[in-house]
Structure 1
Amino acid sequence: MSQPLRFVYKVVDDCIIETDVYLPVVPSKAPTSCPVVLMIHGGAFILGHSKMVSMDQISDCVERGWIVLALEHRLCPQVDVLNGPMQDVRDALKWVQMGGLDSELAKDPKTFLFKADTDRIVAFGTSAGGHLALALGFDVDKPVLAILDFYGPKHFADPFWTSDIPEVKSILPTDLTPEFLNQVMDEKPVATQGGVSLEGQTSKGPNFQDPRQAYAFSHIANGTLMKAIFPSEDWKKIDPYENISSDLPPTFVVHGDADHMVPIRLSREYVKILREKGVKCDIIEVPGEPHTFVGRMKKGSETWYLQRKGFDWLQTIIESM
């Protein structure tokens, strides 16, 4: 797989927001219209960037003939989740739909034959990125064709979101002060890349000398994450669970049954209501896998083949158009 292209899809004040673009190998010399995957990284809406994704999953998509956009977005808490990450990925969708990607590809003789099939745009994300993928199905002018959600947070009125997470709390240093944590608010411009991957691609743990990482893990541990990134708690504006309707795009959920960071019961309940509303949907429960297993899974493993069913499902939706 070749190195990705890098394009700007949005500018907000002094914040430049970019995406990596991975192109399939298409032998034809005629202009080729390709399905597009909007791929969104995880990181509790506070951490992560476009390289903190599974290259094996990207390769799988590219080999199917799809263009993959690994999106950056503004990170909380300097912006809240609605006006930052959610708005950015929605603007990325509109950028592709309105010809922004095609315009960039047309500038280079090596890529000008590639075009985005704007009727076949799908969204995929892990953890917080799974939530952002789901957000491309509601409150947008033209939703994505289908959504693949890997263990995305949802149902924010559930008591879980105000509960401690002992597994994370046990690794927190005891000397983190509010003054130190709140240094994250002083970053300029608003960050689009930050901290450690929560997808486990590295054996190194969080760096608690970095205010951004310390801020994220402290709020996750203490059950205050959602309050920190969406202080109004007007969940209807951001929660996929509270926006379930019969008009949603087909949706597939992949979730590990040993997930302590986003309980699998939240995804089970979400899919149950989708079915009741008549939305085309399915769920794969991956045995023994915790949160953020995608970054650690080995290609060819049982987990690899189970999660790949989500991409096979996406392909059936794409090819049905």
Structure 2
Amino acid sequence: MAAVEGSGPFRAVYKTIKGQEIDADIYVPLPGKAKYPVIINIHGGAFMLGSSKMVNKDQVKDCLARNWIVVVPNHRLCPQVNLLEGPMQDCRDLLSWIYQGNLETFVSNTTNSPYPVDTDHVFAFGTSSGGTLALSLGFGVPRTVAGIFDMYGPCNFADKFWTTKLEPLVAKLPPGLTQEFLNRVFDEDPIPTMGGVSLEGQQPGAPNFDDPRQAFALTQIANGKVLDAIFPSRDWDKVDAIRNVTPSFPPTFIVHGVEDQMVPMSLSKDLYAALSQNGVKCGLEEIPGEGHTFAAKMVVGSQTWNLQRKGFDFLESLL
């Protein structure tokens, strides 16, 4: 990949709730184009961990090389707020913020250069839980994104997998994690928008089980209780993309590792089938030999890198 000129990240506050600022990192390519498509790049972390700093920077550079403005949001983290009212609402409010012209104003003022935003081509991309949040910009909003790239995002929440213990992860949980200790996660105030280690591996180091948030999240994942933690109402119609696919759903491309044990590929295949049955322009790329969160360790130019790039190529084909 050629060297990419551009600037950022710039911090933009796209939402304030109860006095708390919710922000995003904005990366911009070189000025001078007639219009700039936008891609919202949403981090992973099981809706409970991660931050805007924990995304694959090579993917950001790839998008800048396509002359796209890259918006990497933080969002409030579960479990103090549920999936619908926290992460999803924040990402949907970010989309409205972009459509209302605020991104163009912010970038132009920050860089002292005109950056006309192509609001007909605002795309959503995310890894793991970020993939789910990218999909949520295809339904339940006044105006959807123009296209979605979902990398191994959780979906089909009624599937029995979501209540299944992941024994290899259970075996890695340290002894002595009391419920009282884990419940300290609910004491954090305000609700954090950055948390713990990255499940995408963008922040070096193993999980820190002395941190209640990390311990809580990994305990829920291991014991098959993530959905109870993030959306206890279990009203899947409100949050599950697979239940909201219609013929007007945005064009969607899915990339998933064949060896994924944390979010099985079968779930993405279910989503792909629903998209296909509704006549939605879509694609599914199965990545051989890769498990969950492989975006963390991809090497530019590798087979995995070249295969996942098809998702960005798919979005570019919509221009």
Specify the TM-score bucket, using the shorter chain as the normaliser.
over 0.9
Give 1:69's match in structure 2, choosing from 66, 71, 82: 71
d(CA) in 2 for partners of 1:245 and 1:78? 32
d(CA) in 2 for partners of 1:296 and 1:174? 29
After TM superposition, list the pairs within 5 Å mapping 1:114-125 onto structure 2. Answer: 114-125=115-126
d(CA) in 1 for partners of 2:229 and 2:203? 26
Q: Contact 2:40 / 2:123 at 8 angstroms: preserved in 1?
A: yes
**Higher mean C-alpha deviation, range 53-62 or range 237-246:** 237-246
- Structure 1 equivalent of residue 11 of structure 2: 6
After TM superposition, list the pairs within 5 Å mapping 1:150-189 onto structure 2. Answer: 150-189=151-190
Q: Which amino acid aligns with 1:24?
A: P
| Cα distance, 1:25 vs structure 2 | 1.6
Q: Provide Cα deviations, 1:56-76, integer angstroms capped at 9, x if missing partner.
A: 000000000000000110000
- Structure 1 equivalent of residue 36 of structure 2: 34
| Cα distance, 1:205 vs structure 2 | 1.2
User: Is 2:81 the counterpart of 1:79?
Assistant: yes
- Structure 2 equivalent of residue 195 of structure 1: 196
- Structure 2 equivalent of residue 92 of structure 1: 94
d(CA) in 1 for partners of 2:216 and 2:185? 8
Q: Contact 1:105 / 1:115 at 8 angstroms: preserved in 2?
A: no
d(CA) in 2 for partners of 1:123 and 1:144? 7
Q: Which amino acid aligns with 2:217?
A: A
Q: Which amino acid aligns with 1:92?
A: L
Q: Contact 1:82 / 1:238 at 8 angstroms: preserved in 2?
A: yes
State the identity as a percent.
52
Q: Contact 2:10 / 2:26 at 8 angstroms: preserved in 1?
A: yes
**Higher mean C-alpha deviation, range 1-10 or range 49-58:** 1-10
Q: Contact 2:8 / 2:28 at 8 angstroms: preserved in 1?
A: no
After TM superposition, list the pairs within 5 Å mapping 1:1-321 onto structure 2. Answer: 1-26=6-31, 28=32, 32-108=34-110, 110-317=111-318, 319=319
Q: Contact 2:54 / 2:203 at 8 angstroms: preserved in 1?
A: no
- Alignment gaps of 5+ in structure 2: 1-5
Give the match's secondary structure for 2:185.
helix
Give the match's secondary structure for 1:294.
helix
Q: Contact 1:14 / 1:189 at 8 angstroms: preserved in 2?
A: no
Aligned length: 314
Q: Provide Cα deviations, 1:138-187, integer angstroms capped at 9, x if missing partner.
A: 01100000000000000011000000011211110111011101101111
Q: Which amino acid aligns with 1:172?
A: L
Give the match's secondary structure for 1:16.
strand
| Cα distance, 1:272 vs structure 2 | 1.2
| Cα distance, 1:246 vs structure 2 | 1.1
Q: Which amino acid aligns with 2:87?
A: P
| Cα distance, 1:290 vs structure 2 | 0.3
Q: Contact 1:37 / 1:123 at 8 angstroms: preserved in 2?
A: yes
d(CA) in 1 for partners of 2:55 and 2:141? 25
Q: Contact 2:7 / 2:30 at 8 angstroms: preserved in 1?
A: no
Q: Contact 1:32 / 1:113 at 8 angstroms: preserved in 2?
A: no
| Cα distance, 1:242 vs structure 2 | 1.2
Give the match's secondary structure for 1:194.
coil
Give the match's secondary structure for 1:213.
helix
Measured at CA, do residues 111 and 149 of structure 1 come closer, stay the same or move farther in structure 2, by a change above 3 Å? farther
Give the match's secondary structure for 1:232.
coil
d(CA) in 1 for partners of 2:205 and 2:95? 33
Q: Contact 2:156 / 2:270 at 8 angstroms: preserved in 1?
A: no
Measured at CA, do residues 172 and 111 of structure 1 come closer, stay the same or move farther in structure 2, by a change above 3 Å? farther
d(CA) in 2 for partners of 1:112 and 1:192? 30
d(CA) in 1 for partners of 2:8 and 2:105? 20
d(CA) in 2 for partners of 1:303 and 1:111? 38
d(CA) in 1 for partners of 2:168 and 2:206? 13
d(CA) in 1 for partners of 2:61 and 2:83? 29
The TM-score, its normalising length taken from structure 1, stands at 0.96
The TM-score, its normalising length taken from structure 2, stands at 0.96
Q: Contact 1:286 / 1:303 at 8 angstroms: preserved in 2?
A: yes
| Cα distance, 1:203 vs structure 2 | 4.9
d(CA) in 1 for partners of 2:218 and 2:112? 41
